[in-house]
Amino acid sequence: MSSIDMRSLILFAVSAVLSIVLYSLPAESFAGINPSFVQLVRGALIIFTLYLLFEKLFKMELHTKILLGMALGALAGWLFRESIVEIKPVGTAFIRLIQMIVVPLVLSSLITGTASLGDVNKMKRIGSKTLTYYLLSTAFAITIGLVLANVIQPGTGLNPEVKAELLQNYSGMADQKVSSAQENQVSPVDTFLNMIPKNPFDALGSGSMLQIIFFAIFVGIALTMISREKARPVLAFFEGVDEVMIKIVTIAIELAPYGVFALIADAIGVFGIDILAVLAKYTVTVAFGLVIMLIIYPTIASRFAGVKVSQFLEDIRPAQLIAFSSSSSGATLPVTMEVADEKVGVSNEVSSFVLPLGATVNMDGTALYQGVATVFIAQVYGIPLDISAQLTIVLTATLASIGTAAAPGVGMIMLVMVLQQVGIPLEGIALILAVDRLLDMIRTTVNVTSDVTAATLIAASVGQLKRPEGA
């Protein structure tokens, strides 16, 4: 081992030991010292330890670093609990760095992608296929959730004391979420009207994704209707913006291992893993259904798009890992678009339309969770759900995935709508809030995987899928 490597190893050992000691000491040990200073030193030290591990001691692929960051984050959250939560700003900074480019990336890629089609009829074909896939996949996902919930019956046998404790501890949060969800419910007509921006600059500033998509598509179509001479400089500008945004993605993704570590450590530190044992049947039922969906997607892509299952999973892994750690399809969108274009081989024309729309309206993982959660709460309260009620759940959740797309708190709004539709007490939401954040990581992974699968299938159907050689 070279002297430089030995020095890095010594630094790593020292910083790792110091990090463990500082995070293990009780708060009383730092009496008289500014808490912010203590947090800064501990946070900087643990990030420096990760830097030595990822960049100096071992040569690792990016996805390996991210996986290791997730594992170490979970370990740190379990060991240090609330103390490690102070590291969350590192994860927040990473997410904001990705979110920073979502709006300009969607706008530029969608304008150039739509304009490059050069045919409104072609756009109609892609649009109709996209919406059909998203509606069918959402209905299929919630059906899987209902079947599993009826077979496993996660709501039966829940200890009455546990039920009372959950309702007591999370009733305030549940009331707040229900109230917020009910305030944001809008009619189908208003949902459609809200897609049309009064001022596109306001939509860009507020990040109203459906309005941005609507505006970008119209701009792209209009560019195909004017002379090439006048359209060329506009297209050149947005093509340049698109290239710059993609470059920023490649830079930001290098910071993913550190951001993922911080986000996972915070999630485990705040919620712990003990609650998983209390709600084991419910947690396992949801997770099992989501894993089934994660197996189905690459199988479908292999059958209908001719891609290898193992290669497809390897290609989309970076997007899945970011989705898991961030719990946000929107924040993951730039990475999703990059892997779809560069690794899976989806053309920019298809990915620039299918993926932004999917990040906004496609919620397979959330839909499956709605099905399990609804049956779970009904079983806890002893409310039977016949076939007609469960068909109502499928229909309501499928339509709600489109109808609530532009509103905040989409998952909770959907669940409130479903529970109201079948007459289940809304306060039952308090029963599942304890594990919601942890399950949300897997749900988002499913959502993003479904988006990439949709882009792959649609690209293959219109001859816009060009797989890299050897794939």
Check pLDDT > 80 for residue 437: no
Nearest partner of 351 among 365, 339, 363, judged by Cα: 339
Q: Which residue has the tokens 């959330």?
A: 366
Check pLDDT > 50 for residue 287: yes
Check pLDDT > 80 for residue 400: no
pLDDT on residue 176: 66
CA quadruple 441, 349, 460, 394: dihedral, nearest 10? 40
pLDDT on residue 256: 87
Confidence of residue 191 (pLDDT cuts 50, 70, 90): low
pLDDT on residue 181: 58
Q: How far is CA 4 from CA 8, 44, 61, 332, 385, in A?
A: 6, 22, 21, 36, 66
pLDDT on residue 408: 43
Contacts 24+ apart (CB under 8 A), 37-44: 39/86, 42/86, 43/86, 43/87, 43/89, 43/90
User: Under a CB-based contact definition with an 8 Å cutoff, are residues 337 and 107 in contact?
Assistant: no
Instruction: Give the SS3 label for residue 160.
Output: helix
pLDDT on residue 188: 62
Query: Between helices 35-51 and 62-80, what is the axis angle to 10°?
Result: 140
Q: How far is CA 183 from CA 6, 198, 374, 411, 423, in A?
A: 60, 22, 21, 14, 19
Q: Which two tokens stand for residue 48?
A: 């420096």
Check pLDDT > 70 for residue 183: no
Side-chain-side CA neighbours of residue 172 (13 Å): 1
The answer to which of 31-40, 140-149, 154-163, 442-451 has the lowest mean pLDDT is 154-163
pLDDT on residue 236: 92
What's the CA gap between 132 and 347, in Å, rounded? 20
Q: What is the pLDDT of residues 418-436, one digit of tens each?
A: 888 888 888 888 778 777 7
Give the mean model confidence (pLDDT) for residues 184-209: 79
Confidence of residue 1 (pLDDT cuts 50, 70, 90): very low
The pTM of the whole model exceeds 0.75: yes
Check pLDDT > 50 for residue 340: yes
User: Under a CB-based contact definition with an 8 Å cutoff, are residues 192 and 424 in contact?
Assistant: no
More confident residue, 122 or 149: 149
What's the CA gap between 82 and 77, in Å, rounded? 8
What's the chain's average pLDDT? 84
Buried b (16+ CB within 10 A) or exposed e, 325-358: bbbbbbbbbbbbbbbbbebbbbbbbbbbbbbbbb
More confident residue, 304 or 471: 304
What's the CA gap between 376 and 386, in Å, rounded? 14
Give the mean model confidence (pLDDT) for residues 92-103: 86
Q: Ranked by mean pLDDT, which of 13-22, 178-187, 261-270 comes out on top?
A: 13-22
What's the CA gap between 195 and 135, in Å, rounded? 18
SS3 content of the chain, % helix, strand, coil (to 5): 85, 0, 15
Q: What is the DSSP letter of 431?
A: G
Give the mean model confidence (pLDDT) for residues 313-341: 89
